[in-house]
Structure 1
Amino acid sequence: MSKNKKHKPKVQSEKAMSKPVNTNGQVTLSFNATDTLFFRESRPMESMGELQSVFPPPVRTLAGAIRTLIGEHLNVDWREFDANHPSVADIGFGDDLGKLHFQGAWLAWETDGKRERLYPAPLLLMQKDQSFYRLTLESKGIWCDLGKQVRLPKLPDNDDAKGSKPLENTWLTSDGLSAVLSGGKPNPKHIKKASDLFERESRVGIARDNSTRTVEKGLLYQTQHIRPHQGLSVELDTAGLPETMPAKSIIRLGGEGRTASIETKQTSNHLPKAPDANGNTQGLLLYLLTPLNMPQAAHLGFSREERDNQTIWTGTLNSIELELHGAVTGKALREGGWDMAKHQPRAVTSLIPAGSVFFCKAKNGDTQAAIKALHNTQIGELSAYGYGHLAAGLWLKD
């Protein structure tokens, strides 16, 4: 930890740079740790206790590394870079990304030569031993602070489901997500726990003063690093890059000067197709594949409505009029960071975490049209960064 931090972005390019690759359309940028990685939680370094590392990393951190890499590729002199610089069109300035657009961040796992993308497990999934159960909504609802007869999540009426726990820090393969979108349950082989993918390591450091290059006596701190297992990488689907980019580079990524390689690959269609509604469908489920940046006052753009002595919420997403009957959401994800444009800490905001699920019905009754219009789309603020990525699935009758 340093009193006089330098926040000038820096990229360490490989001496033998790979041949440039064509980036027409959308490509996938793959990040691989060279050792451990550290993406500090929203608490400041001066906080008591061990500072945890967020993983997968915040998309803003990945976007910043990519924008820096592009700037280095375009020979930008960062001392002259401001809102009027010619390269702003390519990498943007502040929250404005210019031509860039991101989707992700995603975890990718490679084993036995096969590479597959992983998705955060929907929070309606519960597990007990090797059995999985799906949360549904109460049929009658209860009076609570949210309104009248609000339909809260519940376990199925099955004694075997008692004692099951949420799938926290868990990811699904494409086949597993496809099963959940269709109203089913994943197979245990479709599940990846955090312990399957990476380890957490505690590190102890001491504060230093860069101006005198001396340590500060007694000022110790402890951080938790992430050590990805062999075969784990982080991917970001990216559009709007310059026509050519290095095939592979070494960059600084996250805190404490950690490094990673970044590789440019052609994008393939990873996300499972949307399921088809059937006679057993009563509505649609909207799954958050990435965190949602939505001010609390906006409430997803939905307004509260009393109907038949019951509270629901109505609103429009991507021109589809919906009724929101209930949701399963996780703990708010707190995200801060450093604002490179303003040279100051970014205000900490609360995001709706990935894996959250919303139980909806199409107001016109056309569930299939709503699924088609909302699957693989993004909602909320800063969607160009990848926030608010949706997958649409079936809400089956109880």
Structure 2
Amino acid sequence: MPNTVTWSIEPIDTLFFRQGTPYDLGQQVLTGDVLFPPHMSTLQGAIRTAIARAQGWQPGRDDKWPEILGTPDNLGEMSLEGVFLQKDGQWLFPVPRHLMRISHQKKTIYQNNLVYLKPGPLVESDLGVSALPIVDARISDEDKVSDIGDAYISEEGLALCLQGQVPPDTTIVPVECLWKLEIRTGLTISDQSQTAEPGLLYQSTHVRLEKGVAIGISVHGIPWEWQECIRAFPLGGERRFARVSLSKNAIPIPPLNVQPSRDGYVRVFALLLTPGLFENPGHVLRHGPFPDPCLSAVTGRITMRGGWDLKRHMPRPLRPFIPAGSLWFYRLTPEMWDTLKLLHDHHIGLEGEYGFGHIIFGQWEE
């Protein structure tokens, strides 16, 4: 894509991002209120503001705001891709939610492996007649299957997942290797005396990234010359600063590699790489994001996300997002697949220009 600039963002100290919960005097931001990686609703405002400042804009000078950067309610000529992570230059993506961990227990020895979920036979359930997900492996009664938890997967591991191959455990990176939480305590300073107000302490939780970890986003549609001078910009709460490295390299999304099965059907799963915003998220969770209903699904819980409106100085309304890593299984005819495969590495749902609903396809076998 022309005019593609990829931002690698690293905090200078810590970053402060919170969920859509109140944060007024006397309230605390605890570990459960922390949001990381930050949502694109937050990052897009910081990035657009940094680009506008580089072009001479200052707060209160609306006449200097570049038109191609849009308005508070649209991106103008810009579009975004992400949010993803990088570690030591290697791209990391959300773990597909059908990838599970199986623990084999023999006396005191534990050995962990990875295994997939796939659509099982049709059964009666509270969802009606459905093909509920089952483990795609032979396991004993002593084996335990659980989700991988908070983790990311490397580009190599994601490519293997899309081909239906089980990736090595080394391609999974737990969040403990990427960032840690730090609880900070502060006090309120009087505007008149510039001294501490008695009893007005507050507490917040910050995110400290491990060495070599960065937030990765691609900016499309804005000239390189408009961005090349940006070295640092304020990001998140408390106006913490982050440094940025720019590149013209695109984010390495694995290419489409799906083949028909011997019976002529094409068995694919549709995977969300970024959170998806849909008009009817409940319907999409159950039936999938396309007109033809899915066989089965492995999804996360809907999360409510907002952001901050820089123009109006107020929070944006909370909206429901289907989390990244959610996926839906399909058994398609070649004709149906010819239409659907055109969506690989594109965005579906609402506000795709913000990076929401980034969809890719992988293969599964019965």
TM-score category, normalised to shorter length: 0.7 to 0.9
User: Match of 1:109?
Assistant: 87
User: Match of 1:80?
Assistant: 61
Query: Is 1:275–2:257 an aligned residue pair?
Result: yes
Query: Is 1:98–2:82 an aligned residue pair?
Result: no
RMSD: 2.6
Query: Is 1:348–2:329 an aligned residue pair?
Result: no
In the aligned structure 2, how far is the partner of 1:247 from the partner of 1:72?
Answer: 11
The equivalent position to 2:276 in structure 1, one of 292, 297, 300, is: 292
In the aligned structure 2, how far is the partner of 1:192 from the partner of 1:88?
Answer: 40
In the aligned structure 2, how far is the partner of 1:203 from the partner of 1:325?
Answer: 47
In the aligned structure 2, how far is the partner of 1:138 from the partner of 1:33?
Answer: 45
Alignment check: 8 A CA contact 2:269 2:327 kept: yes
Measured after TM superposition, the shift of residue 188 of structure 1 is: 1.3
The equivalent position to 2:99 in structure 1, one of 100, 106, 125, is: 125
Which structure 2 residues correspond to residues 236-255 of structure 1 after superposition, within 5 A? 236-244=217-225, 245-255=227-237
Per-residue CA deviations over 1:318-339 (Å, capped at 9, x if unaligned) read xxx5332221111222212221
Query: Is 1:374–2:356 an aligned residue pair?
Result: no
- Evaluate the alpha carbon distance shift between residue 219 and residue 185 of structure 1 in structure 2; reply closer, same or farther with a 3 A threshold: farther
The equivalent position to 1:42 in structure 2, one of 20, 37, 43, is: 20
Alignment check: 8 A CA contact 1:182 1:393 kept: yes
Per-residue CA deviations over 1:119-161 (Å, capped at 9, x if unaligned) read 10001111134301111223112231x3x21222232463248
The equivalent position to 1:384 in structure 2, one of 353, 356, 362, is: 353
Moved over 4 A (4+): 46-49, 207-216, 312-316
In the aligned structure 2, how far is the partner of 1:135 from the partner of 1:353?
Answer: 18
- Evaluate the alpha carbon distance shift between residue 239 and residue 139 of structure 1 in structure 2; reply closer, same or farther with a 3 A threshold: same
Alignment check: 8 A CA contact 1:322 1:361 kept: no
- Evaluate the alpha carbon distance shift between residue 98 and residue 133 of structure 1 in structure 2; reply closer, same or farther with a 3 A threshold: same
Query: Is 1:231–2:208 an aligned residue pair?
Result: no
Q: Secondary structure of 1:360's match? A: strand
Measured after TM superposition, the shift of residue 95 of structure 1 is: 2.4
Alignment check: 8 A CA contact 1:371 1:392 kept: no
Per-residue CA deviations over 1:105-126 (Å, capped at 9, x if unaligned) read 110111xxxx221110001111
Alignment check: 8 A CA contact 2:266 2:337 kept: no
In the aligned structure 2, how far is the partner of 1:314 from the partner of 1:165?
Answer: 23
Query: Structure 2: which amino acid aligns with 1:268?
Result: A
Query: Structure 2: which amino acid aligns with 1:125?
Result: L
The equivalent position to 2:292 in structure 1, one of 309, 322, 337, is: 322
Any stretches of 5+ residues in structure 1 without a counterpart? Answer: 1-22, 303-311
User: Match of 1:175?
Assistant: 156
Measured after TM superposition, the shift of residue 206 of structure 1 is: 3.2
In the aligned structure 1, how far is the partner of 2:342 from the partner of 2:91?
Answer: 23
In the aligned structure 1, how far is the partner of 2:282 from the partner of 2:144?
Answer: 35
Query: Is 1:205–2:186 an aligned residue pair?
Result: yes
Query: Structure 2: which amino acid aligns with 1:226?
Result: V
Measured after TM superposition, the shift of residue 59 of structure 1 is: 1.2
Measured after TM superposition, the shift of residue 80 of structure 1 is: 2.9
Q: Secondary structure of 1:71's match? A: helix
In the aligned structure 2, how far is the partner of 1:208 from the partner of 1:352?
Answer: 41
Alignment check: 8 A CA contact 1:109 1:117 kept: yes
- Evaluate the alpha carbon distance shift between residue 370 and residue 130 of structure 1 in structure 2; reply closer, same or farther with a 3 A threshold: farther
Percent of aligned pairs with the same residue?
28
Per-residue CA deviations over 1:198-255 (Å, capped at 9, x if unaligned) read 2221212234565775555434333221111111111111112135123441111111
- Evaluate the alpha carbon distance shift between residue 394 and residue 257 of structure 1 in structure 2; reply closer, same or farther with a 3 A threshold: same
Alignment check: 8 A CA contact 2:115 2:137 kept: no
In the aligned structure 2, how far is the partner of 1:314 from the partner of 1:254?
Answer: 33
Per-residue CA deviations over 1:22-67 (Å, capped at 9, x if unaligned) read x952110110111111111122224566153211111122211111
In the aligned structure 1, how far is the partner of 2:187 from the partner of 2:60?
Answer: 30
In the aligned structure 1, how far is the partner of 2:301 from the partner of 2:80?
Answer: 24
Q: Secondary structure of 2:345's match? A: coil
TM-score (norm 2): 0.87
Q: Secondary structure of 1:381's match? A: coil
User: Match of 2:242?
Assistant: 260
- Evaluate the alpha carbon distance shift between residue 182 and residue 367 of structure 1 in structure 2; reply closer, same or farther with a 3 A threshold: farther
In the aligned structure 1, how far is the partner of 2:165 from the partner of 2:209?
Answer: 30
Per-residue CA deviations over 1:74-125 (Å, capped at 9, x if unaligned) read 11132132xxx46352211112011110000110111xxxx22111000111
